[in-house]
Amino acid sequence: MSFAKDSKLQIIEKEIEDADCAQAFLSGLIHSSGTITKNAEGVRLDIVTDFQEIFSFLNRLINRLYGEKLSLEISDDYIINKTVYYRIKFPIEISLQVLKDCSIIPSNGELVFISEVDNNLIADDETKKNFIKGAYIGCATSSIKLSELGSQSPTTGYHVEFASHKLEFLEGLKAILEHFNIVSKIVSRKKIYVLYLKDSEAIKDLLALVGAEQSVLDLSDEMAKRDLRNTVNRQVNCINANINKTVEASLKQIQAINYINKKIGLESLPEDLQEVAVLRLANPQESMEELLKLSTINLTKSGLNHRFRKILKIADILRGN
Q: What is the pLDDT of residues 35-61, one digit of tens each?
A: 998 888 888 999 999 999 999 999 999
Q: Which amino acid is at 13?
A: E
Q: Which range, 24-38, 261-275, 304-318, is most confident? A: 24-38
Q: Which residue has the higher pLDDT, 203 or 109?
A: 203
Q: What pLDDT is stored for residue 150 in this prediction?
A: 46
Q: Which helix (H) or strand (E) holds 161?
A: strand 160-164
Q: What are phi and psi of 89, to 5 degrees?
A: -105, 125
Strands (E), 190-279: 192-197
pLDDT at 281 over 70: yes
Averaged over 16-35, what is the pLDDT?
A: 95
Note whether 32 and 169 are within 8 A (CB): yes
Check residue 149 and give its pLDDT. Answer: 44
pLDDT exceeds cutoff 90 at 284: no
Asked if the model's pLDDT at residue 78 lies above 60, the reply is no
Domains and CATH numbers, the chain: 3-211 (3.10.28.10), 233-319 (no CATH)
- CA dihedral defined by 98, 100, 103, 109, rounded to 10 degrees? 140
Side by side, which strands form the sheet with 83-89?
Answer: 34-39, 42-49, 83-89, 71-80
Helix (H, G, I), strand (E, B) or coil at 109: coil
Determine the pLDDT at residue 62: 95
The side-by-side arrangement of strands in the sheet containing 140-142 is 140-142, 160-164, 192-197, 185-189
Cα–chain-centroid distance for residue 60? Answer: 33
> What pTM did the predictor assign?
0.73
